[in-house]
């Protein structure tokens, strides 16, 4: 049996659970002014968030930003200090985890080591006294769906990392709960398997129709899987948007630098214009910077300080005044270190942020156009 | 040819490496055990009468000895009284101090204190508790319920039970440390996963925690069984085996026979009986329990 069996492959997907879940559907989640404090430190600071029913929402952010704490509050594993949590119209703020009717996949998978794959997957059904016949029928379906049919009598220690991950997924989906939470489920897998599981989890969610809240620090996971990305930073929500929008219109310099590799260039306009535009930051993605040509007039020039050849394209670091601007050029550009490059920054690719508040200043973009042509 | 030489050398090295351990194992375990079995077939040497081979006469004597049977019964009662109770109390205490509670380290230390104290000191403390009239128990029961003074250690009906209580008190804290270590090695996420699946505290304990503690339970219960045959120091101080052998266990009887009455031949026979029972228990435990235990 192959280690990974794509769900989309014909014959592996059984229509029954899909139809069933679609009928029950996902449930929306609403956080209103939710706060979590540990003694004097505030882990999650008064956040408001709407997760539409049946959507795939990713909580994204650097470690320590409060995304896992937020997820654990939704799960009921951490008490909510203040604020309100709603599933659909049901207030679950004070409801214990066991009564929230959710499922969860843990970073460590949290499989019960002394129980077989079958017992692990049906643990929740057994706890809830589902009949044996029903349990067996559901187990069969889920095992087939996840390509675990031949492994159900094994112990978790006899499985590979990818298979263990699948068992954890099986345990999460068998009860067909309206909400599924995942806490960095792919971080223990190697890069290749991670890519495959990403596709698979997304397909599973769409097929079964539950609401997914997924925590990760990996922006690639967020961009590829999410309907809605919730970017968090030091206990607050930085931006809530679709992957496309968060890339195209980041709400703050933090969002701009967190999404996309390499990160967006953020330049201090103060220094570049000699004090003519104060308190503004200019952002431009490395892939948006172009070399100047006849029809693309030079906006500024910089000295090449480093070149990194990546195969399909090349990363070039330029020194502009006292700042560094990175650009991504297609192919193996014929550039040498120390060369003076004339660069064109397309007007529609520019992002302007207030240095103090971090807010976008789109309405002032026209002001800085002339300044840059100095 | 050289390959063979090399093999021989490796073989010699191997034996040299195990030699120190083997010397001690043989000198202090195997040879005494065999010597004991050997001596059990001989009479006790006395004065001008050297010991002579008497076959199974010692064993016949043992089977006919009412004290032997009484002591064996005592030992069984002692084991039944101490093992389940001390293991259960240890588990409950470990679950208790594993939770987040204020003053946790103080409670842990308090539970472990009986283990650190020498058994002789422990026996002295309890001797005071049990003292008729002004002992702790009599003072409490006298003040609260107006009960007359009791002599727990001095009456045949209660002497062994009084010794059992001391043993449980002494052992539970020691076993708790093992349970505590095992509990802390169980990932918190297992409990959380079970909680999310809707399991109650009770279900989590019986379906997750307890099965994962089974290796510890086996280890602890084997130790408890061995101790129930081995721990006799406090009996010397508390009751000296009395009254009328009421609190004598097998090892105490062996000591008395061999080193107080100098009946070494019969002592050897009783020791063989003890060894035989211990071997049976150990084998039984490993074969019956081992199969049903999950090891990581």
Average pLDDT taken over every residue of chain A: 86
pLDDT confidence of A247, banded at 50, 70, 90? very high
Q: What is the rounded average pLDDT of the residues A224-248?
A: 93
**pLDDT beyond 60 at A82:** yes
Model pLDDT for residues B122-136, shown as the tens digit of each residue = 888 888 888 877 878
Output the pLDDT for position B292. Answer: 65
Output the pLDDT for position A139. Answer: 92
Lowest mean pLDDT among A226-230, A231-235, B75-79, B96-100: B96-100
Examine the domain organization and report whether A325 and A244 are in the same domain: no
The shortest C-alpha distance from B97 to chain A (Å) reads: 21
pLDDT confidence of A49, banded at 50, 70, 90? very high
Model pLDDT for residues A159-212, shown as the tens digit of each residue = 988 899 999 999 998 988 999 999 998 888 888 888 888 998 999 899 889 999
Decide if A7 is inside a domain.
no
Examine the domain organization and report whether A265 and A206 are in the same domain: no
Model pLDDT for residues A99-145, shown as the tens digit of each residue = 898 999 999 999 999 999 999 999 999 988 889 999 999 999 899 88
The shortest C-alpha distance from B118 to chain A (Å) reads: 39
Model pLDDT for residues B237-283, shown as the tens digit of each residue = 888 777 878 888 888 888 888 888 888 888 888 889 888 888 888 78
Output the pLDDT for position A117. Answer: 93
pLDDT confidence of B294, banded at 50, 70, 90? low
Residues of chain A positioned with their CB less than 8 A from the CB of B187: 108, 110
Q: Is A99 on the interface with B (CB under 8 A)?
A: yes
Q: How far is CA A4 from CA A7, A148, A327, B203, B222, in A?
A: 9, 10, 38, 34, 45
d(CA A308, CA A287): 14
Decide if A211 is inside a domain.
yes
Q: Give the residue on B whose Cα is nearest the Cα of A102.
A: B196
Decide if A3 is inside a domain.
no
Q: Would you list the DSSP string of A22-69?
A: HHH----EEEEEEEEEETTEEEEEEEEEEE-TT-EEEEE-STTSSHHH
Of all residues in chain A, the percent with pLDDT exceeding 90 is: 45
pLDDT confidence of A14, banded at 50, 70, 90? very low
Nearest to A106 among B189, B208, B211 (CB): B189
Decide if A1 is inside a domain.
no
Examine the domain organization and report whether A70 and A178 are in the same domain: yes
Q: How far is CA A95 from CA A26, A73, A74, A260, B111, in A?
A: 19, 11, 10, 38, 35
Q: Is A124 on the interface with B (CB under 8 A)?
A: yes
d(CA B38, CA B64): 21
Check which CATH number belongs to the domain holding A323 and give it: 2.40.50.140
Interface of B with A (CB under 8 A): 187, 189-190, 192-200, 203, 207-208, 211-212, 214, 294, 296
**pLDDT beyond 70 at A15:** no
Range with top average pLDDT, A10-14, A368-372, B43-47:
B43-47
Examine the domain organization and report whether A238 and A283 are in the same domain: no
**pLDDT beyond 90 at B228:** no
**pLDDT beyond 70 at B168:** yes
Residues of chain A positioned with their CB less than 8 A from the CB of B203: 127
Decide if A224 is inside a domain.
yes
Check which CATH number belongs to the domain holding A231 and give it: 3.40.50.300
Examine the domain organization and report whether A219 and A321 are in the same domain: no
Q: Give the residue on A whose Cα is nearest the Cα of B200.
A: A98
Of all residues in chain B, the percent with pLDDT exceeding 70 is: 97
ipTM: 0.79
Output the pLDDT for position A181. Answer: 94
Q: Is A127 on the interface with B (CB under 8 A)?
A: yes
Q: How far is CA B290 from CA A119, B143, B214, in A?
A: 21, 50, 9
Average pLDDT taken over every residue of chain B: 84
- Give the number of other Cβ atoms within 10 Å of residue A240's Cβ: 19
Kindly report the pTM of this predicted structure. 0.77
- Tally of domains within chain A: 2
Measured in degrees and rounded to the nearest 5, phi and psi for residue B172 equal -55, -40
Output the pLDDT for position A11. Answer: 38
Model pLDDT for residues B86-115, shown as the tens digit of each residue = 999 999 988 888 877 777 788 878 888 888
Give the domain-ending residue among A222, A252, A282: A252
Delimit the domains of chain B by residue range: 51-290
d(CA A93, CA A71): 13
Q: What is the rounded average pLDDT of the residues A279-297?
A: 87
Examine the domain organization and report whether A87 and A218 are in the same domain: yes
Sheet holding A228-233, edge to edge: A102-105, A179-183, A211-216, A56-60, A228-233, A236-241
Interface test with B, best of A75, A104, A111 (most B CBs within 10 A): A104
Q: Is the CATH number of domain B51-290 1.20.120.1770? A: no
Give the domain-ending residue among A188, A221, A252: A252
Place of tokens 């843990």: A106
Give the domain-ending residue among A223, A252, A281: A252
Residues of chain A positioned with their CB less than 8 A from the CB of B196: 75-77, 97-98, 100, 102-104, 124
Examine the domain organization and report whether A291 and A201 are in the same domain: no
Termini Cα distance of chain A: 65
CB contact under 8 A, A123 and B296: no
Taking alpha carbons only, the member of A103, A254, A279, A241 closest to residue A177 is A103
Domain encompassing residue A105: 15-252
Examine the domain organization and report whether A237 and A296 are in the same domain: no
**pLDDT beyond 70 at A17:** no
Taking alpha carbons only, the member of A228, A233, A236, A235 closest to residue A205 is A228
d(CA A253, CA A359): 8
Nearest to A106 among B193, B203, B296 (CB): B193
Output the pLDDT for position A25. Answer: 77
Examine the domain organization and report whether A53 and A142 are in the same domain: yes
Decide if A4 is inside a domain.
no
């Amino acid at each position: 049996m192959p280690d990974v069996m794509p769900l989309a492959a014909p014959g592996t997907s059984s229509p029954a659970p899909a139809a069933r879940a679609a009928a029950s559907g996902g449930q929306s989640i609403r956080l209103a002014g939710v706060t979590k404090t540990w003694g004097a430190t505030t882990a999650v600071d008064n956040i408001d968030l709407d997760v539409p029913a049946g959507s795939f929402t990713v909580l994204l952010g650097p470690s320590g930003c409060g995304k896992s704490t937020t997820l654990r509050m939704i799960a009921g594993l951490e008490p909510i200090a203040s604020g309100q949590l709603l599933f659909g119209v049901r207030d679950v703020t004070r409801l214990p985890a066991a009564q929230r009717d959710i499922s969860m996949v843990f970073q460590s998978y949290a499989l019960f080591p002394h129980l077989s794959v079958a017992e692990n997957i049906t643990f929740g059904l057994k706890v809830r006294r589902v009949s044996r016949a029903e349990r067996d029928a559901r187990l069969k379906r889920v095992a087939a769906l996840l390509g675990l049919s031949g492994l159900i009598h094994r112990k978790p220690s006899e499985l590979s990392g990818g298979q263990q991950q699948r068992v954890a997924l099986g345990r999460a989906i068998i009860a067909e709960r309206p909400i599924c939470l995942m806490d960095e489920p792919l971080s223990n897998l190697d890069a290749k398997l991670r890519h495959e599981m990403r596709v698979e989890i997304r397909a599973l969610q769409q097929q079964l129709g539950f609401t997914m809240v997924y925590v990760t620090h990996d922006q690639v996971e967020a961009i590829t899987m999410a309907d809605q990305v919730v970017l968090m930073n030091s206990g607050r929500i930085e931006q809530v948007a679709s992957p496309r929008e968060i890339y195209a219109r980041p709400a703050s310099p933090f969002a701009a630098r967190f999404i996309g590799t390499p990160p967006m260039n953020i330049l201090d306009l103060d220094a570049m214009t000699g004090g003519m535009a104060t308190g503004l930051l200019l952002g431009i993605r490395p892939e948006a910077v172009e070399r100047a040509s006849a029809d693309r007039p030079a906006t500024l020039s910089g000295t090449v300080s480093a070149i990194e050849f990546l195969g399909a394209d090349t990363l070039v670091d330029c020194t502009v005044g006292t700042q560094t601007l990175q650009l991504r050029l297609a192919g193996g550009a014929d550039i040498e270190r120390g060369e003076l490059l004339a660069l064109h920054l397309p007007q529609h690719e520019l992002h302007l942020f207030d240095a103090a508040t971090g807010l976008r200043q789109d309405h002032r973009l026209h002001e800085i156009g002339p300044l840059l042509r100095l | 040819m050289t390959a063979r030489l090399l093999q021989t050398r490796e073989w010699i090295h191997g034996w040299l490496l195990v030699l120190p351990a083997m010397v001690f194992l043989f000198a202090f375990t195997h040879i005494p055990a065999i010597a004991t079995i050997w001596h059990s077939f001989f009479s006790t040497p006395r004065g001008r009468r050297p010991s002579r081979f008497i076959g199974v006469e010692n064993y016949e004597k043992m089977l006919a000895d009412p004290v032997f049977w009484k002591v064996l019964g005592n030992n069984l009662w002692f084991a039944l009284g101490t093992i389940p109770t001390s293991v259960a109390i240890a588990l409950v205490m470990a679950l208790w101090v594993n939770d987040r509670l204020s003053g946790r380290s103080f409670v842990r230390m308090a539970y472990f204190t009986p283990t650190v104290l020498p058994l002789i000191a422990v026996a002295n403390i309890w001797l005071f508790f049990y003292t008729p009239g002004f002992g702790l128990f009599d003072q409490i029961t006298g003040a609260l319920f107006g009960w007359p003074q009791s002599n727990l250690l001095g009456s045949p009906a209660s002497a062994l039970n009084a010794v059992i209580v001391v043993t449980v008190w002494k052992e539970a804290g020691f076993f708790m440390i093992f349970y505590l270590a095992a509990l802390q090695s169980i990932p918190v996420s297992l409990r959380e996963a079970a909680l999310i699946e809707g399991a109650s505290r009770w279900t989590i304990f019986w379906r997750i925690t307890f099965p994962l503690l089974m290796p510890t339970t086996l280890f602890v219960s084997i130790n408890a069984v061995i101790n129930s045959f081995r721990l006799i120091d406090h009996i010397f101080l508390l009751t000296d085996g009395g009254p009328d052998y009421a609190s004598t266990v097998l090892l105490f009887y062996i000591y008395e026979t061999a080193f107080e009455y100098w009946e070494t031949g019969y002592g050897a026979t009783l020791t063989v009986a003890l060894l035989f029972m211990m071997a049976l228990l150990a084998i039984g435990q490993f074969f019956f329990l081992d199969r049903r235990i999950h090891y990581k």
